Amino acid sequence: MDELWYEDFRVGETYEFDPVRVDEDDIVEFATRYDPLSFHTDAGAASESRYGGLIASGIQTMALSQSQVVDGLYGRSHIIGSLGFESVRFPRPVRPGDRLTTHIEVLDRRVSESDPSRGIVTTERTVVDGADAVVFEAVNNVLFERRSTNSPRD
């Protein structure tokens, strides 16, 4: 596939990435290291929690989504890095056995005012489980290299 530059992203364009399965062992291992709350690390305690069972850390959900996006899109682009998230939501928990699919929609793009050799692409990231229920949503501003500073300033 061709490498992507700022100019290659179009408002309204969407991307979908291959699903990833979340297993109980993955949830416990990740949470033990990075988010050691009992409803992430202990199935017995989690069954007594408000969630009624083990759930993945939101940070793990973000990380799994990021891996999908890097493998399927950013890894073949002239990305400089993320400028940050405007919003992040976790409307439903991720549970063992869930298959997560990440979708990206390009919401906006603009040439950087401080450095016209760069462009900012605003995306909405939505992650759904196997039942198409949204488990993660975020709006992200991502900085890319421009193919040419002679390109139209859009």
The two most distant CA atoms of the chain are separated, in Å, by 61
The predicted pLDDT at position 2 comes to 77
**The amino acid at 34:** Y
22: nearest Cα among 63, 71, 74: 63
Average pLDDT over residues 117-125: 98
Task: State how far the alpha carbon of 140 is from the alpha carbons of 5, 45, 78, 110, in Å.
Answer: 17, 34, 16, 14
Domains (ranges, CATH) in the chain? 6-22+68-145 (3.10.129.10)
Residue 1, pLDDT above cutoff 60? no
Percent of the chain with pLDDT over 90: 94
pTM above 0.85, yes or no: yes
pLDDT tens digits, one per residue of 134-154? 999 999 999 999 998 665 555
Which ranges in the chain belong to alpha helices (H)?
24-34, 38-41, 43-47, 58-72
pLDDT tens digits, one per residue of 58-114? 999 999 999 999 999 999 999 999 999 999 999 999 999 999 999 999 999 999 999
Torsion sign, CA atoms 73, 75, 80, 82? positive
Phi-psi region for residue 124, left (φ > 0), alpha (ψ -120 to 50) or beta? beta
